[in-house]
């Protein structure tokens, strides 16, 4: 996975739709950039993440981490790539107007997922299943999103949703057989492509 990922500039994961500029918001996280960055790294350490790449449009220091002082980029998004038990994952956020706030959001998200595991209902592996990373730049040039979901390219909103949920139940069941995280990552990516295609064509109300 790492050969196609750059820490600078930003390498965005294909499983995440980008947030339009006009929908980004000012956050209220009362931490500076250095604290947000270091807290995120600590959260990744606590889940035993390996081969971490923190990608953004912030220039890097000699140690490979982003500088704490910089001109805020036009795209404040942050993507974090890592491995847990040899599986590749990606967490991305560009909802907030500043890089530090997107860093903080990802760190808080991981902390919340760790909290879920403490209650004994599920595992971190289950929690992270929807975030399994596809190679950056991956597309469906060979297998189209509608082929992955098993629907017609002109399928209705309800038909696409129904197909997605059926596949999700099959490959990410609540109990019984073991979930197939790699297959689920492809299904999730196809569903995101379907939503983007529907938005562009004006055919779907998601």
Q: Where are the domains of the chain?
A: 2-130, 140-201
What SS3 class is residue 49?
coil
Q: pLDDT tens digits, residue range 141-178?
A: 456 888 888 888 778 888 888 998 888 888 765 544 45
Length reported for the chain: 206
More confident residue, 65 or 48: 48
Cβ neighbors of 47 (< 8 A, separation 6 or more) are 84, 110, 113, 114, 124
pLDDT of residue 173: 58
Exposure b/e, 43-79, CB count within 10 A at least 16 = b: bbeebebeebbbbbbbeeeeeeebeeeeeeeebbbbb
Judged by average pLDDT, the poorest of 3-12, 30-39, 53-62 is 3-12
**Could you give the 3-state DSSP secondary structure of residue 116?**
helix
Question: Mind listing the pLDDT tens digit for each residue in 8-40?
Answer: 999 998 778 889 999 999 999 999 999 999 999
Q: Using an 8 Å Cβ cutoff, are 62 and 133 in contact?
A: no
Domain 140-201 falls under CATH 1.10.287.110: yes
Among 25-34, 50-59, 64-73, 186-195, the minimum mean pLDDT is found in 186-195
pLDDT score of 150: 87
> CB–CB of 149/164 below 8 Å?
yes
114 phi/psi in degrees, rounded to 5: -65, -35
pLDDT-derived band of residue 87, with 50, 70 and 90 as boundaries?
confident
In this prediction, residues 54-77 reach a mean pLDDT of: 91
The pTM for the full model equals 0.67
């Amino acid at each position: 996975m790492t050969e196609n990922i750059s820490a600078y500039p930003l390498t965005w994961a294909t499983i995440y739709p980008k947030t339009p500029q006009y929908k980004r918001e000012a956050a209220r996280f009362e931490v500076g950039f250095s604290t947000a960055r270091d807290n995120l790294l600590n959260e990744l350490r606590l889940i035993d993440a390996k081969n971490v790449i923190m990608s953004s449009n912030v220039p890097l220091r000699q140690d490979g981490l982003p500088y704490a002082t910089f001109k805020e980029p036009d795209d404040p998004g942050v993507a974090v790539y890592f491995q847990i038990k040899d599986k590749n994952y990606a967490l991305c956020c560009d909802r907030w107007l500043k890089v530090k706030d997107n860093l903080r959001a990802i760190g808080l998200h991981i902390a919340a997922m760790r909290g879920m595991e403490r209650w004994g209902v599920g595992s971190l592996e289950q929690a992270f299943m929807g975030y399994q990373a596809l190679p950056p730049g991956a597309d469906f040039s060979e297998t189209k999103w509608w082929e992955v979901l098993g629907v017609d390219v002109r399928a209705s909103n309800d038909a696409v949703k129904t197909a997605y949920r059926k596949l999700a139940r099959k490959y990410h069941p609540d109990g019984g057989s073991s979930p197939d995280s790699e297959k689920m990552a492809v299904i999730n990516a196809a569903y995101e492509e379907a939503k983007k295609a529907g938005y562009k064509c004006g055919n779907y109300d998601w």
